[in-house]
Amino acid sequence: MKNEMKSDTATFAGGCFWCTEAVFLELKGVEKVVSGYIGGKTINPTYKEICQGDTGHAEAVQITFNPEVISFGELLELFFTTHDPTTLNRQGNDVGTQYRSEVFYHNEEQRKMTADFIAFLTEENVFEKPIVTKLSPASTFFEAEEYHQNYYNQNQTQGYCSFVITPKINKVREYFKDKLKN
């Protein structure tokens, strides 16, 4: 009898998908991270269409993970640690609805865990401003163009990667040491 690995899916929009993808790729139990678009009205959107801001889609990542190695709750913790959930339609210099903070839940358990986690962060006043992260049911996820996949690992010396993504990676390596692949 073949020993089958369990897997589950999480979908997060936390600004630029290059940043979001890079931090989740660092974690044990994360089997795959795909950059793409979700939450809008356009079928098979392109990056150019997304950047215009009128498709309704967010730049997001879809994560396949082994819940026996890393939990959805741990993924949520990393998500809220590595982006600013208090800025509406913005992450740093990236501005527009495509850069919103949103969790797209795949089942009722993910919806409840996310709502409870946001309530906890709010109650504990973790952020100085109100959390604006949306919570929505997962809809069709459209995979981004190939050159967006694994972007950071292939372009680390590019300016945006060096100045924006590398500090996030360093934060993950500092705060989530016990969860790292290497």
Residue 16 designated active-site = yes
Contact criterion met (CB below 8 Å) for 104 and 137: yes
Beta strand 101-105 pairing with 134-137: parallel
DSSP three-state, residue 178: helix
Q: Compute the distance between CA of residue 5 and CA of residue 70 in angstroms, rounded to an integer.
A: 13
Residue 108: phi and psi, rounded to 5, are -65, -35
Helix-then-strand count for the chain, H and E: 7, 8
Catalytic residue ranges: 16
